[in-house]
Structure 1
Amino acid sequence: MTHFGTIKSYDTSKGSGMISPEKGGEPLAFAKADLQQEAADPKSGQRYGYATSQVAGGKARATNLQPENAKQAQAENQQG
């Protein structure tokens, strides 16, 4: 299931950041490796789609992050 949120912060030197879920709740951590388009660093305020997974300690984290416009382009390409 795809969730949506806004990038709260991203530290390029560490390659990690936080995303705030649109439906509320605590911000979720993510790493550069979790981004679908690893070449482009996310910026605060950008909307991303993501999946979640559980890590040690029961905390959720964001994975498989894609910029909102990438999902729209992908849907348009599938329509033909």
Structure 2
Amino acid sequence: MKYFGTVSSFDTVEGHGEIKPETGGDMLRFERGAFSSEKNTVPTVGQRLSYDVGTNSQRQRCALNLQTI
């Protein structure tokens, strides 16, 4: 299931950020490598994205398969 949200922060040095889900709830962390086909994409604050929800290596919820809209 695809979800939609807005980038609330992104650290270009560390390569990770957070996305605010449109449906509310907790912020979801994401890694730059989570962009499905746009590997060189640098997200900007306020940018709208679609994503899937999964878990990272620490078993925390995160955004995966990010795509710009």
State the TM-score, normalizing by the size of structure 1.
Answer: 0.78
Shift of 1:65: 0.3
Name 2:24's counterpart in structure 1. Answer: 24
Percent identity over paired residues: 37
The secondary structure found in structure 1 opposite 2:6 is strand
Between the aligned partners of 2:44 and 2:55, the Cα distance in structure 1 is: 24
Q: Unpaired segments of 5 or more residues in structure 1?
A: 69-80
Which structure has greater helix proportion?
Answer: 1
Name 1:62's counterpart in structure 2. Answer: 63
Amino acid at match of 2:20: S
Name 1:51's counterpart in structure 2. Answer: 52
Between the aligned partners of 1:12 and 1:54, the Cα distance in structure 2 is: 22
Which structure has greater strand proportion?
Answer: 2
Structure of greater Rg: 1
Between the aligned partners of 2:21 and 2:45, the Cα distance in structure 1 is: 13
Number of residue pairs aligned between Structure 1 and Structure 2: 67
Shift of 1:16: 0.3
Amino acid at match of 2:11: D
